[in-house]
Structure 1
Amino acid sequence: MARLVPTLTTDIPVSPATPRSDIQRLVVEKHEFAAPTQPVKNRIAFIFSHANGFHKEMLHPLMKLTIESFRKQSQYNQTQFDFYAFDARNHGDSARLNEATVHIPTFSWYDHAMDTIQVIEELELKENYNKVIGVGHSFGGSAMILAEFMFPKTFDGLCIPEPVISKVIAPYLLREQSPPIKGALKRRDEWKSREDCFKAFDGRPFWRDLHPDVLQNYINYGMYDTPEGTVKLKCPKLEEHLVYMAGIYGSAGAFGSLRSLSIPVHIIHAKDSTFTDPDTAEEIKAQSPMLTNAMVEGSHMVPGENPAILVPEIEMLTARVLAREGGLRAHL
């Protein structure tokens, strides 16, 4: 099954600190995985945050493999795991909910960081769980780092595959010509049907490298049916373009934030990434003693290409989190 069926899907206000907080909403889903042995001793919440241009269901295969692995380990028999995933306000189901007001020219990665904090606060995760761990890819991961910088101890740990972090701020005109930024506006965003879309993607670079379940989720849940009988991307291509353009400050901010880390953070670099430079891995790691990293096979889209390769990395970060400060935080 490519898509996990949530036990709860709800919508919450975006962060009150951000533009249009009075009218925009975030769609959040919850997946509950009960402890196989009672009574429950520990409750751990994971928050999964997607990359720019994608949506929460793209991470479902990774979530599925992660819980399957945890459930094979006896030390977690009395641990309740709840996974939360949400769509950025201009992506996925959130974009559909905000359709009439989705466009905010000033929307930044810091705003997305505040929305990430909003999910934690609105759903009272710190109050209801012993630990809160973030797993964020690319734009989603960088926003988690920014959130932790602005509000330390928001998370108990972060596992970040391929964050977009850089100490370089490229000139504006040069950024405009960057292939992913320039290409976002040119990408096709509407097809006659999902079958037509699949045929258009079949065998093409980028799409052919995605895990079959991830590609299936992109086509099934990253698009919506229009009144005209076509299917269209839930994330408008202008929104994807603007998120890329805004990323230059968020990326540099995330890099500078690494030095202030007070929680375990594990960054995963992909050897064939063209979005982040694996050659900078050691420089990134040197920013904080709280930071570990790993190099895996794949491209910037490794969570979508080979989700299984990331499961041991998530497990390692989780073990680090639980080993700190005498184990788990008490909760009511």
Structure 2
Amino acid sequence: MSSDQVSVAIHEFGGTGRPLLLSHATGFHGYCYLPIADHLNEQFTTYALDYRGHGATSRPDDWAVDWDRYGDDALAAALRIAPDGGLIGFGHSMGGAGLLMAAHREPGLFDLIVAFEPIVFPTDVDRSSDEPSAMVDAARRRRPSFDSFEAAVQNYSSKPPMDAFAPDVVRLYVGHGFRPAPEGVRLKCDPEHEARTFETGASHTTWDVLPEIDTRVVVVAGGDAMGPAEVAPLIAERLANSMFVEQPDSNHFGPFIDPGGTADLIVDMTH
């Protein structure tokens, strides 16, 4: 159980070996990372969580988006999976920030975190005058319903960014990210909730506590020279026990485009 009496959904993907927690990006959910887990079933027992307002985890009706509560969700999931520590974490975008928050609050819980372009921004930069980002606009315009699951799959597969995703990722995104509704199927993650999460991504103060995190962290960035990829090496510099890995041929959606390569990266970093 997380804060606000939120019951965090945790999905066990099987496998053998030490526990691994997969932590998803904004607007997605844990099952989107099942193709990564499938490549790791001989090395890890893999789990994934759904943050509040995403996938199978509901959010309080009157809850305003607060990134610190996402940290609560990550911590609640991690403690359920590995109450005695020894956990490996892979966090993508928002999910990377959530794992870093959890590691700060519970030292010793994680043996390693692989954070792919985590959403952690310097707190000494005034972003109050920023124009709405393309991600915010896209979230608010996101079509909330379709006639069927298959219609949703066809729609997403036909246009960026999901036309570059592995086909299994798109089907899992739709299959576990939509629910039956009178009009056909409807998104579980409300477009306004997703948009507000993007809008408030610079509001939390995780940047300030990065030097206090002793967990070994591998910060990964794709080849985009902007946004989370631009900040990623600075995050690695502030962490006490970290390394930075650049994947110039990748981008912010790398884990969805190349699940096998992401799995290989996790294995390489644990050796």
TM-score normalized with structure 2 length? 0.90
**Aligned with residue 183 of structure 1, among 130, 138, 163:** 138
Q: How many angstroms does 1:102 deviate by?
A: 4.1
1:160 equivalent in alignment to 2:103 = no
Tell me the distance in 2 between the aligned counterparts of 1:257 and 1:192.
46
**In the alignment, what sits opposite 1:28?**
10
Structure 1 pair 148–197 and aligned structure 2 pair: CA distance change class (3 A): same
Tell me the distance in 2 between the aligned counterparts of 1:301 and 1:103.
31
Report percent identity of matched pairs: 22
1:61 equivalent in alignment to 2:35 = yes
Q: Secondary structure at the match of 1:160?
A: strand
Q: How many angstroms does 1:57 deviate by?
A: 0.7
Structure 1 pair 239–282 and aligned structure 2 pair: CA distance change class (3 A): closer
**Aligned with residue 292 of structure 1, among 243, 254, 266:** 243
1:104 equivalent in alignment to 2:63 = yes
Number of aligned residue pairs: give it.
269
Tell me the distance in 2 between the aligned counterparts of 1:241 and 1:196.
23
Alignment of 1:116-195 (within 5 A): 116-121=74-79, 123=80, 125-127=82-84, 131-167=86-122, 169-174=125-130, 177-195=132-150
Cα contact 1:103–1:239 (8 A) shared by 2: no
Tell me the distance in 1 between the aligned counterparts of 2:211 and 2:57.
33
Tell me the distance in 1 between the aligned counterparts of 2:146 and 2:127.
35
Tell me the C-alpha RMSD between the 2 structures.
Answer: 2.1
Structure 2: gaps (5+ residues): none
Cα contact 1:274–1:299 (8 A) shared by 2: no
Cα contact 2:114–2:266 (8 A) shared by 1: yes
Cα contact 1:190–1:232 (8 A) shared by 2: yes
**In the alignment, what sits opposite 1:311?**
263
Q: How many angstroms does 1:48 deviate by?
A: 0.9
Tell me the distance in 1 between the aligned counterparts of 2:226 and 2:120.
13
Q: Secondary structure at the match of 2:12?
A: strand
Tell me the distance in 1 between the aligned counterparts of 2:257 and 2:226.
15
Residue deviations 1:62-90, cap 9 Å, x none? 1111235x3xxxxxxxxxx3212111111
**In the alignment, what sits opposite 1:91?**
54
1:44 equivalent in alignment to 2:26 = no
Residue deviations 1:248-277, cap 9 Å, x none? 123xx3333332221210011011375423
When Rg is computed on C-alpha atoms for both structures, the one with the higher figure is 1
Structure 1: gaps (5+ residues): 1-12, 35-42, 71-80, 320-332
